[in-house]
Amino acid sequence: MAFITSLLLRNPLRHTMLAGARHDVRPLILITPNQPMQLPLPQSLSSDAVRSAAGWSAIRLLLAGLIAAHGWARLVAGGVVPFGGWLSDQGIPFGFPIAAAITAFEIIGTPLLAFRKAVFPLTVLYSFIYAMGIWLVHAPAGWFVVGLGRNGSEFSVLLIACLLCVGLQHVKLRNDV
């Protein structure tokens, strides 16, 4: 912790901002053990609500990209048929149609997710798919994806948590206008 604090306190940007902030940025104060540090913050991100919306949008877009890459990679590499065969070998009926549907959903649903269309149902369905992936593939391999293990659950758990949190941001309540 002392090393990180030392790096933060020696940040040349901090001294520049303290000497005289530009007019188009608002300082963001980070608390360190010794004193606050100021970082440049564009005026367009000056409110908590705007920063929150920008953060949720960034996570939503990243999720859409990751999920799309997952589906496209399976399709382009010819992995749909082997995936369907593997599902059938696990005793799941209609292995190939399920594999094809999951792949299509990962490819077709992600632009909708990226453009804020049907976000809540998409995130719930993607979460279900990846929860099944944990149950069938990743949990038996352990927790860690690399390092202390291989092909574990940790990344899928993170995806599900992010998907559900993003989805929750798009739930419409009855009293919402």
- The segment with the largest mean pLDDT, out of 17-26, 34-43, 98-107, 147-156, is 98-107
For residue 37, pLDDT over 60 is answered with: no
pTM, full prediction: 0.74
pLDDT per residue as tens digits for the range 104-125: 999 999 999 999 999 999 999 9
Residues in CB range of 51: below 8 A, 6 or more apart? 45
State the chain's mean pLDDT as an integer. 83
For residue 7, the model assigns a pLDDT of 38
Of 112, 106, 113, 124, the C-alpha closest to 68 is 106
Whether 40 shows a pLDDT value over 90: the answer reads: no
**Is the per-residue pLDDT at 74 higher than 80?**
yes
Report the percent of the chain where pLDDT is more than 70: 77
Q: Looking at residue 36, what is its pLDDT?
A: 57
Residues whose CB is less than 8 angstroms from the CB of residue 176 and which lie 6 or more positions away in sequence, other chains included: none
Distance CA 152, CA 144 (A): 5
Cα gap 31→54, rounded to integer Å? 22
